[in-house]
Amino acid sequence: MKKRFLVMVGIVVLCCLLLAVVSACTPQTAGTIGSESESVKKTDILLWTAQRADIVFREKKLAEFNNANPDLNVKMEAYTEDYATTLELAIASEQAPDIFQVINNARYYVDRNMLQPIDKYVTKDFEQRYGSLFKIDEVNTVDGKLYTLAERGITFRLIYNKDIFEKVGLKEPPKTIEQMYEYAKKITEWGKKDGIYGYAMPLKTTSSVGERIIDQLAYRNGFSFYDYKTGKYDFTVMKPIVNIHRKMFEEGIMFPGVEGLTIDPLRTQFAAGKIGMYINGNWEIAIFAKDGQFPAQCNWGAAPLPGIDTENPSGKTDIKNAGKSFGISITCKHPDLAWRYMDYLLSDEYLAQYQEEGYGTIIVPSAVKIAKTRGLPGEEDFAMKESLDMIWPVRPDTAGLQFEGKNAYDTYAAIILGAVDVDEALNDLTQRYNKGLDECERAGTVKRVIIPGFDPTN
């Protein structure tokens, strides 16, 4: 009996050993954490952003979220070049992110079947927090459905090196584009021997030049190449603005190699004290901070964009990205989980901290109330002001307008570089855009925007 008992014990021990070996060699189920009884399945959520200026902050906050939400693994990727095209291709090939930064008006994405509505996730609390910014027709709302929400607004100013201005004898930033040219010329003549130039622009990225410089100068002076009163395009009004930049390029006043310059190399040169002036948005507050991407080695400030033939322009620059932030992709398989992260990054605490650390100007009223200032250079200069900033109405070309040939921003760059005649190029743009609008309106793909009493000076 004893021998028989020992044999049975041996068999049991052998079975236990075999079971332990099998368990050790069996891989854990992917996407789980902890023991079998405590396992939590992790779901990957991919987010795409179109800018790098705030990447450090967003990565930090993303890590905090993932630590607090063990069932989610949110990842972020930044695409700053050809973002719109890359996103459309990704959605068409079903390789799109779950959440993506909305850089165009909602109509653009809805017409291309790229966004999911978020109405079922948005509570009354959001409506109370956002006030008049909750739903803006054609910007974040299409046919009554909500697709994205306001987050921040990008204000635009003329950024200048105070140290250079002082050394050259310039007492204040230019108030007209003619002064801007004269100041840039004076700085270049003074500092060229030391590699210092008066003005720069990221001409390799034509969309940035068009949206952030040329268009903004027009807005500041109370006009646009789209006439909201008549519902027609007229690019000839842009001639004074593109001409002054063409003149600076032709005369060698601009920083060398601007035709191949993107924004980060430009920022590097400005931070090092090699550029006198350029135009950009309030991202620069954080970029040039001591703990920023390119800590400034100079004293700098920002001023309202200059006027055309007047030192007191009556128009207002367009607050970019106002009314929109992120959206859930039409191909997202877990929209409920994606919304959980969107809810987090649209919270008052997240938004207030974003502004406090100098990454942008928040426009959500409830977040603005609790946000503190850091006293960073440029913080007050870039602050939104009713006298300087407004949200301009949607243009047809930001809502899916189709036309033949080069777009306006590529054409602006060609004019500045001296590749085309300014009058011929602007007249050609006018003809092509109006023809495209007529055809799209007939096809029912784009609405002609007409605001009879539109007055951006009030």
Over the stretch 323-378, which tens digit does the pLDDT of each residue have? 889 999 999 999 999 999 999 999 999 999 998 887 878 888 899 889 988 788 99
Position 211 in a domain:
yes
Bridge-based pairing state of the strands 226-227 and 232-233 = antiparallel
In a domain, 354, yes or no: yes
Is 23 a member of any domain?
A: no
* Interatomic CA distance for residues 362 and 317, integer angstroms: 16
Same domain, 101 and 149: yes
**What pLDDT is attached to residue 7?**
42
End-of-domain residue from the set 336, 360, 384: 384
pLDDT band at 421 (very low <50, low <70, confident <90, very high): very high
- Decide: residue 48, CB within 10 A, 0-12 exposed, 13-18 middle, 19+ buried: buried
307-317 pLDDT, tens digit each? 999 999 999 99
Q: What's the pLDDT at 236?
A: 98
Assess if residue 32 is contained within a domain.
no
What's the domain count of the chain? Answer: 2
Q: Is 400 domain-assigned?
A: yes
Q: Verify that 54 and 189 share a domain, yes or no.
A: no
Residue 24 above 50 pLDDT? Answer: no
Q: How many CA atoms lie within 13 A of 177 on its CB side?
A: 23
Q: Tell me the two tokens of residue 397.
A: 């070309």
Average pLDDT over residues 256-277: 97
The better pLDDT of the pair 71, 11 is held by 71
Domain boundary among 384, 408, 426: 384
Position 436 scores a pLDDT of: 98
Position 37 confidence tier, pLDDT thresholds 50, 70, 90: very low
* pLDDT above 60: residue 1: no
- The arithmetic mean of pLDDT across residues 169-175, rounded, is 97
Judge whether 6 lies within some domain.
no
Residues 355 and 428 placed together within one structural domain of the fold: no
Shared-domain flag, residues 277 and 420:
yes
Choice between 174 and 401, residue whose per-residue pLDDT is larger: 174
| pLDDT, mean over the chain | 89
On whether both 272 and 420 belong to a single domain, the answer is yes
Question: What is the tens place of the pLDDT at every residue in 56-95?
Answer: 999 999 999 999 999 999 999 999 888 989 999 999 998 9
- Assign 256 a pLDDT band (cuts: 50, 70, 90): very high
Residue 443: its pLDDT value, please?
A: 95
Q: In terms of domains, do 104 and 244 share one?
A: no
For the domain that residue 380 is a member of, what is the CATH number? 3.40.190.10
Domain assignment present for 454: no
Please report the pLDDT score of residue 121 as a whole number. Answer: 97
Query: How confident is residue 38, by pLDDT bands cut at 50, 70 and 90?
Result: low
Give per-residue pLDDT as tens, 280-296.
999 899 899 998 899 99
Task: Give the pLDDT band of residue 156 (cuts 50, 70, 90).
Answer: very high
For range 263-285, the mean pLDDT: 96
Residue 29 has pLDDT above 90, yes or no: no
Averaged over 48-52, what is the pLDDT? 91
- Asked which of 22-31, 51-60, 264-273, 424-433 is least confident by mean pLDDT, the reply is 22-31
- Are residues 200 and 324 both part of a single domain? no
The verdict on 187 and 247 lying in the same domain is yes
Between 244 and 18, residue with greater pLDDT: 244
Confidence of residue 11 (pLDDT cuts 50, 70, 90): very low
The whole-number pLDDT of residue 376 equals 87
Query: Is 22 inside a domain boundary?
Result: no
- Domain stops at, among 384, 411, 431: 384
The predicted pLDDT at position 39 comes to: 65
Q: What percent of the chain has pLDDT over 90?
A: 71
| 285 and 187 within one domain | yes
Q: In this model, does residue 2 exceed pLDDT 60?
A: no
52 and 148, same domain (yes or no): yes
For residues 227 and 311, membership in a common domain is answered with yes
Q: Do 147 and 161 share a domain, yes or no?
A: no
d(CA 331, CA 347): 25
Domain that holds residue 135: 41-153+320-384
Q: Is a pLDDT exceeding 90 seen at residue 384? A: no
Mean pLDDT (whole number) for 223-245: 97
- Say what the pLDDT of residue 199 is: 98
